[in-house]
Amino acid sequence: MGPVNAPRGPLLVDCEDMAWFRDQPEAARGAAAALGRRIGLGEQRTAELVLAVSELASNIVKHAVDGSLLLRTLRTREVAGVEVVVVDTGPGMADVPAALRDGTSSTGTLGIGLGAVQRLADSFDIHSRPGQGTVQLARFWPRPTPPSLTSEPVVGGITRPIGSERICGDAWAARTDTGEQTTPRQREETSHPQSLGAARLDWSAMTATPRPEAPVRTEARGRSVRVHAADPGPGRGVLVMSCDGLGHGPLAALAAQAAVQAFRTGDARTPEQAMQQVHKALRGTRGAAVAIARLEGDGRVLFCGTGNITAALVTATTRSNLLSHPGIVGHQMHQLRTYEHHLPAHGALVMHSDGLSGRWRPADLADLLPHQPALIATGLLRLAGTRRDDASAVIAKAAR
């Protein structure tokens, strides 16, 4: 998949989950070394990545309950990197700052692990609740790091396949809408930069468009209104998609990959236009449930959903659910409807597949919201993931 962020816009990264590891420190270290070399991280930076993975994987064995480590690639227009995500369900940390200080240990060791990871990583984020578990994120870019990567991405997500599957039928994606017109060839070249073509790793054996209805605008609950084919606001916007390919396994993954490809290379400026493009691309596949949102700098959110994707605007104390309509994208998609909402300054857009229970509360995310979107998504997966289906969650913060 290709780059997603435009110059001087909100930072977005193209993220691809590569492999999960449970109680496999040696396998995780070997995979990290191979991944660093394949994407051109550099010898020294790859060695630092392997050291961090070694510390994190060892901590899972020593301290965690039901711990897992995820390796994934990150890409922007300029560079590729590696992100390491660690999640467990206990025992958690009562004092995270103390745990990051060198010399702190609960097992009699030197206690330099987390502090070393924090120093080695370009970006490190951690959240922990005593009795519930810990989520950690460490990001590694090659040297020298481009200046554009000094900020944090405004969108982040995570996917997890069902059971022992190695590929996931869920997917998420984000891209910037600059309002500039590009040709199909330019979009295709942007989505598949030749410099990154060899960076992919294969960890697995791998109806008609609805007719528009008359414009409608009616008041809905709270501050949301229903609109038809709403015009995008002035300036840049961030488009975010959550996709759940029907079922699970390779055929579901093919549908999700087709949706991501169409979303990334399309020229749609609104969720409704993007949904129509994805619908066309998914013909001949198993089909999918899809939700697409557009976030604008003033907090305006346009949302269009088809199928069983949970979506909500969340603050520390409130949750406003976004309405999707029945259908299967790529097969039977009823009349599209777009809803307009407002995202509070300190809130977040949450979208997830039915591999997560929708019964979580705003209080469950309250102390996660100040963290990076990818860490929030991982925390939500730990909290609400059912393990009976492929699972995915994507979080977007206001693109101000």
Q: For residue 179, what pLDDT band results from cuts at 50, 70 and 90?
A: confident
What pLDDT is recorded for position 136? 97
129 pairs with which residues across the strands?
133
- Whether residue 25 has a cis bond before it, omega within 30° of 0: no
- What residues pair up with 73 in beta bridges, in sequence order? 16, 82
Q: What does the pLDDT look like over 39-80, one tens digit per residue?
A: 999 999 999 999 999 999 999 998 889 999 999 999 998 899
What is the number of other CB atoms lying within 10 angstroms of the CB of residue 44?
A: 10
The 3 state secondary structure assigned to 64-121 is CCCCEEEEEEEECCCCEEEEEEEECCCCCCCCHHHHHCCCCCCCCCCCCHHHHHHHHC
DSSP classification of residue 330: T
CA 69 to chain CA mean position, Å: 16
Give me the residues paired with residue 82 across strands.
73, 140
**Residue 295 · residue 35 · CB < 8 Å:** no
**Residue 163: DSSP 8-state:** T
Distances (CA, A) of 368 to 100, 236, 318: 18, 27, 14
Domain 155-397 indexed as CATH 3.40.50.300: no
Has residue 222 got a pLDDT over 80?
no
The reply to whether 155-397 shares the fold of 14-148 is no
Residues composing the chain: 400
Q: If residue 258 lies in a helix (H) or strand (E), which one and from where to where? A: helix 250-265
pTM score, whole prediction: 0.86
- What pLDDT is recorded for position 230? 74
Domain ranges of the chain: 14-148, 155-397
| Structural contact between residues 4 and 12, judged by C-beta atoms closer than 8 angstroms | yes
Judge residue 32's burial from the number of C-beta atoms within 10 Å of its C-beta, 0-12 exposed, 13-18 middle, 19 or more buried. Answer: buried
**Separation between Cα atoms, residue 334 and residue 312, nearest integer Å:** 22
Complete DSSP assignment for 119-133: HHSSEEEEEEETTTE
Compute the mean pLDDT over every residue in the chain, rounded to the nearest whole number. Answer: 85
What local confidence, expressed as pLDDT, does residue 178 receive? Answer: 83
At residue 399, φ and ψ (nearest 5 deg) are -90, 55
Per-residue confidence (pLDDT) for residue 225, from 0 to 100: 66
Residue 122: alpha-carbon gap to chain centroid: 19
84-106 tens-digit pLDDT:
999 999 899 988 888 888 654 44
Is the CB of residue 203 less than 8 Å from the CB of residue 145? no
> Which CA distances in Å does 60 have to 54, 91, 375?
10, 11, 17
Q: Which residue has the tokens 């020229």?
A: 267
- CA dist 227 and 107 (Å) reads 58
User: In Å, how far are 63, 110, 398 from 107, measured between CA atoms?
Assistant: 9, 9, 41
DSSP run (H or E) holding 314 = strand 310-314
pLDDT tens-digit series, residues 247-268: 999 999 999 999 999 999 999 9
φ, ψ (nearest 5 deg) of residue 36: -60, -40
Q: Given 3.30.300.210, 3.10.20.30, 3.30.565.10, 3.30.9.10, which CATH number is that of 14-148?
A: 3.30.565.10
Helix/strand/coil (H/E/C) assignment for every residue in 16-75:
EEEEEECCCHHHHHHHHHHHHHHCCCCHHHHHHHHHHHHHHHHHHHHHCCCCEEEEEEEE
Least confident range from 36-45, 117-126, 229-238, 352-361: namely 229-238
How far is CA 210 from each of CA 27, 277, 321, 330, 339, rounded to the nearest angstrom? Answer: 48, 11, 25, 11, 17
Which of 95-104, 203-212, 328-337 has maximum average pLDDT? 328-337
**Helix (H/G/I), strand (E/B), else coil: 342:** strand
Tokens linked to 180: 């500039």
Pick the residue with more confidence: 8 or 140? 140
Can you tell me whether residue 341 is helix, strand or coil?
Answer: strand
